[in-house]
Chains A and B, each alone.
Chain A
């Protein structure tokens, strides 16, 4: 049975369909592994074994009836940002400590329809605002490679759970790097699709023009199967794109001869740690062996992505989070004098420090007299940043570089200085601003034997090609198969 913890999703699907294992057995084994290790890692906020096992029994019936799909019976963990009917859905916040969702997010219903098992809700930075998972109201997640270090964030619980083999795969969301950075820091694979490919319906909103859900797993091949289930038009998300259904696994086995890889000079400049640079350069060398050529490119406006992001994301967040007022759902302060006092105390007590900080930044930049100088200026520079990529893709097919400037840092190391924390997303944010697809795959280890991630940025709707590029690398390297030893 223990072999299954390292099986790919395709192998698990085959084992389920050929009755080598049942979904109930598989789910029970993952649940007992979680009960053994979650106390150290804190990757899950909510488990509901009876619900998971009931889904597993239904999946076994479906497998027996012969109408199973690729993910039927496979235990998948869900980031706690996705509303799931009947499940506590906290978004990592005290504000939603008692919010049992009355409905399913589109992503959740897609997995339910596919017959996947919801194994539990994973820990995350509060309202996805953070890069270390330390802003969660439910305590920080520990990196399974070194319990004294952060897993990255905001999808830190998901990344740690996948790395520690506490689930077969899981979901994440990425507003400024929240899938790719934790994937890099925990040594797993993660993909943020083109903005609009996965529906945001029922995904608790942070910055609506940037938020995008995506799969996190142990290999590119697994991500392709997950994305096949997650992607698709949904009329309930007004920015969902109407496109034909694709098979994201269709190009996995194409050779990479002639692939032109663009290396932005800005991603290899000051601020990048040596150990990360070395691992990324070794990965590029591996790609050359696979037939790729390298082109030097420039993304001159990418240096502005952090300031632009810290105007746009807080502005949209301050608007989105105004719904939490202690009236219809969520936390209400126990004592108050009048309605305004009830709002102010409920929000002050229900939100954590980082969330309040971003609400205040956003409120300021949107307040009377400042809109043009901040929000509008940021949206204009956003176009310049996107145009840099358009120019670059005239010379190359894909862009590569580091996912994060360093490997996982120590818990508490950046706690007092928000600006330092914000800079850990310096290579990922531009991708969200441009709306492009981006992924991170493991490409080696740096100092202290912590994983390093290679970032692969594709042109719009190039997910299948990016997965092909990642898969070909994973066929000739084994970084993605390494598992943390501590457990």
Chain B
């Protein structure tokens, strides 16, 4: 299977990855090779087989909905790229 340049551009946009034209072209070739490898799997008859997500077939464990963490805003914001008055700063979104 091969991906088109447009496929790769769409995926890069969905994944929020800025890519140059050169990078898009390299990615198109390499991703097409990888999907060539993956294609082997498509021919397998899996009718009636349940998908497996956990080897012990456990369902997600739930907990009581109570507060379990203490406020550590200062510790967490100390490693943030940009903060002000306890808020994370990002470029303006609403004009």
Which A positions have Cβ atoms within 8 angstroms of B?
98-100, 102, 194-196, 209, 235, 238-239, 241, 303-304, 306-308, 310-311, 318, 322, 325-332, 336-345, 347-348, 351, 356-357, 359-361, 363-364, 367, 373-374, 376-384, 386, 417-419, 422, 434-436, 460
Docked-complex contact A422 and B37, CB < 8 angstroms: yes
Question: Given A209-B53, A364-B3, does the pair A381, B11 have CB atoms closer than 8 Å?
Answer: no
| Chain A hits for B92, CB < 8 A | 338
B54 in contact with A195 (CB, 8 Å): yes
Tell me which residues across on chain A come within 8 A of B52, comparing CB atoms.
379-380, 382-383, 386
Contact partners of B79 in chain A: CB under 8 A? 98-100, 102, 329
B residues contacting A by CB (< 8 A) are 3, 7-8, 10-12, 14-19, 27, 30-31, 33-42, 44, 46, 49-56, 58, 60-61, 63, 72, 75-76, 78-82, 88, 90-93
Q: How far is the CA of A168 from the CA of B63 in the complex (A)?
A: 38
Q: A209-B53, A235-B63 are in contact. Are A347 and B41 (CB under 8 A)?
A: no
Candidates A99, A344, A384; contact of B49 at CB < 8 Å: A384
Main secondary structure, interface of A, reads: helix
- Number of residue pairs across A and B with beta carbons under 8 Å? 164
Known contacts A328-B76, A329-B79, A377-B42; is-contact A360 B33 (Cβ 8 Å): no
Main secondary structure of the interface of B (DSSP, over half): loop
Complex formed: what's the CA distance from A369 to B15 in Å?
Answer: 16
Docked CA distance A460–B35 (Å): 32
Q: Point out the residues of chain A lying under 8 angstroms from B55, CB to CB.
A: 194-196, 386, 434-436, 460
Out of B15, B72, B90, which one reaches A318, CB within 8 Å?
Answer: B15
Rounded to whole Å, the gap between the CB of B85 and the closest CB of chain A is: 16
B15–A359 CB distance below 8 A: yes
CB distance from A278 to the nearest CB of B (A): 29
CA–CA, A436 and B58, complex, Å: 15
Please state if B46 and A380 are interface contacts (CB–CB under 8 Å).
yes
- Compute how far the CA of A357 lies from the CA of B33 in the bound complex, rounded to whole angstroms: 12
17 contacts between A and B (CB under 8 A): A99-B79, A100-B79, A195-B55, A209-B54, A241-B56, A304-B40, A306-B37, A307-B39, A325-B16, A327-B80, A328-B80, A339-B93, A357-B30, A360-B27, A383-B49, A419-B34, A419-B37
